[in-house]
C-alpha cells in the first residue's frame, strides 16, 4: 500500500479544564478506505476529529495526513486535505447562499473566476444539489443542508472526508440519499456514527473508541456481531437488527 | 449575484437597473442625495425635476408607483415633525385660510419634506432593485472594512436561525404553562434572553471552527471580482450627473 491517508499514533489530549479525553490513540486508514468510528457518548470521538485538521493540538503523539504531519507549519495544506463535516449543518453553512458557501474553501485557497465556478458546480453535482446554488441555506430541508455541507467540503478536494454523525436527524429517505452520495465518492472516508446499521451499510471496517483509546479495529460485521465487545463499550444494535442477516 | 434573503423592500426583476453592479448604484444614490441636499429650498422647480428623474429611473426599473409610494411610508414620522414647523417656528407670519403660519416655518417644512422624500425615494429604489446581500458586497467593494461586512453577512445568514431558536424557546416556555403577563414574569424572560445569548455565542464558536476548518484566516474571499465596465458606471451615474446641472442652476438663479 502507498502512503496511508491518515495515521494517528499515541495521540493523547487533555482539555484545558484538565479533563483527559484521549489516552493514546493509534490508527491507520489507507487511501480510499471507508471506515466507521464507533463509540459511546463521551468516548472522545469529536475530540479525535478536531485533532485531524489541527483545531486541537495533541498533548502527545502525532497525526499525519497523506504523509504530512499536522502542525503549525503545514496548517493551510492540512485544512485543505482534511474535510470535516460537522454535526449541525447550520454551523457549517455560514454564507448567505449555497453557492458562496461551497465556494468559500476553494476561494480561501486562492481559486477565482471560471475555475472556481467549475469546482462549485462539480461539488454540488456530486451531492445532487445543482439546482440549489442560489438558495439561502436556511430555506433548505435538513437533509439538503447536510448534503450541501458535504459539498462545501468536497469542493476543497480533500484527501480524507471526516463526517461527525452524518445520519443524525435525517429521515429514512434523506439518510439513504446521503448514503448513496457517500458511496459514490472516490475519497477516503472516516465516519463518526452512533447509527450502527449505517456503519455496516457504508463502511467495511470499523474502529471502536472507548474511554479515549481504540478498543477494537476490524471488519464492521464482525465487530457488530461480537456481543461481548459491544456490551463492554455501551454499543447497542437497534431492536430487531441482526448484522449477519444483511447482505 | 446569488439570491440572498428576499427582504421586504426588494422587488425581483431583471430590468437594466437591477442588473447594474451594486456598488455603482450605491455611489449613484449617494451622489444624488448630496446634490439634492445642496440645492437651495427656494428653487422649487428643481425639486420637481429631481422627482421626474427618479420617476424615470423607477420606470426603467419597472417599479410601479404604488410600490414606491407605499414604501415611502417610513418617512411619516419625519413628516409629522415637518408639519409642526409652520406653527412653532418664530418669525414673519402669513395667513392661510384664516390660520396664522410662520413663513420661515413653512420654508423649513418644505425643505425637510422635499429633500427627505427625494432621499427616501432614491433609497427605496435602490433597495427595490438590489438584494440585501448584493448591497453588502457593494459596500465591501467600496472599501467598507471587512469586519463590518462580515458582521452584516452573518446577520443575514443567522437572523432566521436565531429567530427560530427564540421561537422554539418561547414554545417550550408556553408548553410548560408560562405566559408572559406583566412585570412579574420579566425575570423569566430575562433568563431566556440570557440562555439565547449563550446559545448564540456557542453557535458562534462552532461556526468559527467550521470556518477555520475550511481555510478561514480572517478575511472573507471576495467572490465576485468581475470588473465593472465603463458603460455600467455611466448608466449608474447618469442619475446624479443629470441632477447636478439642475442643482447648479438652482444655486445661481
Ligand atoms: N470543551 C471541553 N472541555 C472539557 N471537556 C470536554 C470538552 N469537550 C468535550 N469534553 C469532554 O471530553 C470527553 C470526550 O468528548 P467528545 O465530545 O470527544 O465525545 P464524543 O465521543 O464525541 O461523544 P458524543 O458521542 O456524545 O458526541 C467527554 O468526557 C467530554 O465531557
Ligand atoms: Mg461527538
How far, in Å, from the CA of A61 to the mean position of ligand 1? 19
Res B2 pLDDT > 60 = no
Res B247 pLDDT > 80 = yes
Residue B76: strand, helix, or coil: helix
B5-34 pLDDT tens trace: 456 678 888 888 998 999 999 999 999 999
Tell me, using a 6 A CB cutoff, whether residue A42 lines ligand 1: yes
Res A119 pLDDT > 60 = yes
pLDDT averaged over every residue in chain A = 92
State the pLDDT at residue A97: 86
A156-181 pLDDT tens trace: 889 999 999 999 989 999 999 999 99
CA B39 from centroid of its chain's CA atoms = 22
pLDDT band at B222 (very low <50, low <70, confident <90, very high): low
B84 shares a domain with B180: no
* Contact residues, chain B, for A137 at CB < 8 Å: 157
Given a contact cutoff of 8 angstroms between Cβ atoms, the answer to whether B198 and A63 are in contact is no
B245 shares a domain with B151: no
The boundaries of the domain holding residue B150 are 145-213
What would the mean pLDDT of A140-153 be, rounded to a whole number? 93
For an interface test with A, the pick among B131, B206, B223 (most A C-beta atoms closer than 10 Å) comes out as B223
Question: Which chain A residue is nearest to residue B225, measuring alpha carbons?
Answer: A113
B248 shares a domain with B176: no
How would you write chain A as a 3-class SS string? CCCCCEEEEEEEEECCCCCEEEEEEEEEECCCCEEEEECCCCCCHHHHHHHHCCCCCCCEEEEEECCEECCHHHHHHHHHHEEEECCCHHHHCCCCCHHHHHHHHHHHCCCCHHHHHHHHHHHHHHCCCHHHCCCCHHHCCHHHHHHHHHHHHHCCCCCEEEEECCCCCCCHHHHHHHHHHHHHCCCEEEEECCCHHHHHHHCCEEEEEECCEEEEEEEHHHHHHCHHHHHHCCCCCCCCCCHHHCC
What would the mean pLDDT of B247-251 be, rounded to a whole number? 91
Distance CA B170, CA B189 (A): 9
Ligand nearest to the CA of A212: 1
B128 shares a domain with B149: no
Which superfamily, per CATH, for A6-236? P-loop containing nucleotide triphosphate hydrolases (3.40.50.300)
B200 shares a domain with B149: yes
B157–A94 C-beta distance less than 8 A? yes
B234 shares a domain with B121: yes
A197-206 pLDDT tens trace: 999 999 999 9
B101 shares a domain with B66: yes
A75 Cβ under 8 Å from any chain B Cβ: no
What would the mean pLDDT of A208-230 be, rounded to a whole number? 95
B124 shares a domain with B62: yes
State the pLDDT at residue B224: 63
A57-90 pLDDT tens trace: 999 999 999 999 998 888 888 988 999 998 889 8
What would the mean pLDDT of A18-25 be, rounded to a whole number? 95
Q: Picking from A51-65, B37-51, B108-122, B176-190, which range would have the lowest pLDDT averaged per residue?
A: B176-190
State the pLDDT at residue B48: 95
How much of chain B exceeds pLDDT 90, in percent? 34
Res A246 pLDDT > 80 = no
* Atom from ligand 1 closest to the CA of residue A48: 18
State the pLDDT at residue B7: 60
* Atom from ligand 1 closest to the CA of residue A209: 21
B177 shares a domain with B103: no
* Contact residues, chain B, for A100 at CB < 8 Å: 2, 223
A16 Cβ under 8 Å from any chain B Cβ: no
B73 shares a domain with B25: yes
Sorted by sequence, the CB contacts under 8 Å of residue B6 that are 6+ apart come out as B12, B131
Q: Are strands A82-85 and A34-38 parallel, antiparallel or unpaired?
A: unpaired
Neighbouring-strand partners of residue A7:
A28, A64
Distance CA B200, CA B211 (A): 16
For an interface test with A, the pick among B5, B154, B205, B215 (most A C-beta atoms closer than 10 Å) comes out as B215
Res A243 pLDDT > 80 = yes
A112–B213 C-beta distance less than 8 A? no
State the pLDDT at residue B1: 34
State the pLDDT at residue B225: 65
Q: Is residue B219 part of a domain?
A: no
State the pLDDT at residue A19: 94
The total of structural domains in chain B comes to 2
State the pLDDT at residue B226: 73
pLDDT band at B3 (very low <50, low <70, confident <90, very high): very low
State the pLDDT at residue A172: 93
Question: Which chain A residue is nearest to residue B203, measuring alpha carbons?
Answer: A91
B180 shares a domain with B58: no
State the pLDDT at residue A94: 86
Res B45 pLDDT > 50 = yes
B159 shares a domain with B116: no
φ and ψ at A4, to 5 degrees?
A: -65, 155
State the pLDDT at residue B146: 82
State the pLDDT at residue B34: 95
What would the mean pLDDT of B104-116 be, rounded to a whole number? 90
pLDDT band at B200 (very low <50, low <70, confident <90, very high): confident
Ligand nearest to the CA of A86: 2
Interface predicted TM-score (ipTM): 0.73
How far, in Å, from the CA of A87 to the mean position of ligand 2? 8
* Atom from ligand 1 closest to the CA of residue A165: 27
Q: Where are the domains of chain A?
A: 6-236
0.90 surpassed by pTM: no
State the pLDDT at residue A247: 59
Distance CA A130, CA B104 (A): 62
What would the mean pLDDT of B205-215 be, rounded to a whole number? 85
The C-alpha cell 419634506 sits at B113
Amino acid at each position: 500500500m502507498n502512503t496511508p491517508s491518515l495515521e494517528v499514533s499515541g495521540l493523547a489530549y487533555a482539555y484545558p479544564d484538565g479533563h483527559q479525553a484521549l489516552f493514546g490513540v493509534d490508527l491507520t486508514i489507507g487511501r480510499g478506505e471507508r471506515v466507521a468510528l464507533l463509540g459511546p457518548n463521551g468516548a472522545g470521538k469529536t475530540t479525535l476529529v478536531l485533532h485531524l485538521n489541527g483545531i486541537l493540538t495533541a498533548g502527545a503523539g502525532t497525526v499525519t495526513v497523506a504523509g504530512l504531519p499536522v502542525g503549525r507549519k503545514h496548517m493551510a495544506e492540512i485544512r485543505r486535505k482534511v474535510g470535516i463535516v460537522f454535526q449541525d449543518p447550520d454551523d457549517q453553512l455560514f454564507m448567505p447562499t449555497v453557492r458562496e458557501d461551497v465556494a468559500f474553501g476553494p476561494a480561501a485557497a486562492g481559486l477565482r473566476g471560471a475555475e472556481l465556478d467549475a469546482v462549485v458546480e462539480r461539488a454540488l453535482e456530486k451531492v445532487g444539489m445543482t439546482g440549489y446554488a442560489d438558495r439561502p441555506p436556511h430555506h433548505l430541508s435538513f437533509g439538503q443542508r447536510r448534503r450541501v455541507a458535504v459539498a462545501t467540503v468536497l469542493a476543497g478536494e480533500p484527501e480524507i472526508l471526516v463526517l461527525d454523525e452524518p445520519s443524525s436527524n435525517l429521515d429514512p429517505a434523506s439518510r439513504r440519499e446521503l448514503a448513496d452520495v457517500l458511496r459514490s465518492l472516490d475519497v477516503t472516508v472516516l465516519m463518526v456514527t452512533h447509527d450502527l446499521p449505517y456503519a455496516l451499510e457504508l463502511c467495511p471496517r470499523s474502529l471502536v473508541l472507548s474511554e479515549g483509546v481504540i478498543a477494537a479495529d476490524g471488519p464492521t460485521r464482525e465487530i457488530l456481531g461480537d456481543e461481548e465487545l459491544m456490551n463492554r463499550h455501551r454499543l447497542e444494535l437497534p431492536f430487531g437488527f441482526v448484522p449477519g442477516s444483511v447482505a | 449575484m446569488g439570491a440572498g434573503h428576499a427582504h421586504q423592500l426588494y422587488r425581483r426583476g431583471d430590468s437594466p437597473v437591477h442588473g447594474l453592479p451594486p456598488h455603482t448604484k450605491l455611489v449613484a444614490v449617494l451622489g444624488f442625495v448630496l446634490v439634492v441636499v445642496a440645492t437651495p429650498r427656494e428653487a422649487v422647480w428643481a425639486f420637481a425635476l429631481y422627482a421626474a428623474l427618479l420617476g424615470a429611473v423607477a420606470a426603467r426599473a419597472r417599479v410601479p408607483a404604488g410600490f414606491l409610494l407605499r414604501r415611502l411610508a417610513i418617512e411619516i414620522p419625519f413628516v409629522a415633525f415637518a408639519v409642526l414647523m409652520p406653527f412653532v417656528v418664530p418669525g414673519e407670519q402669513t395667513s392661510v385660510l384664516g390660520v396664522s403660519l410662520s413663513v420661515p416655518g413653512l420654508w423649513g417644512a418644505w425643505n425637510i419634506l422635499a429633500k427627505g422624500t427625494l432621499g427616501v425615494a432614491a433609497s427605496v429604489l435602490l433597495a427595490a432593485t438590489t438584494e440585501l446581500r448584493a448591497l453588502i458586497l457593494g459596500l465591501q467593494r467600496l472599501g467598507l472594512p471587512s469586519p463590518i461586512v462580515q458582521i452584516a453577512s452573518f446577520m443575514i445568514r443567522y437572523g432566521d436561525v436565531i429567530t427560530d431558536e427564540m421561537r422554539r424557546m418561547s414554545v417550550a416556555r408556553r408548553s410548560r404553562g408560562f405566559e408572559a403577563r406583566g412585570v412579574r414574569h420579566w425575570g423569566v424572560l430575562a433568563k431566556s434572553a440570557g440562555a439565547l445569548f449563550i446559545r448564540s455565542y456557542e453557535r458562534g464558536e462552532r461556526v468559527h471552527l467550521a470556518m477555520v476548518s475550511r481555510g478561514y484566516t480572517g478575511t472573507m474571499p471576495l467572490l465576485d471580482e468581475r470588473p465593472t465596465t465603463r458603460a455600467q458606471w455611466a448608466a449608474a451615474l447618469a442619475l446624479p450627473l443629470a441632477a447636478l446641472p439642475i442643482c447648479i442652476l438652482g444655486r445661481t438663479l
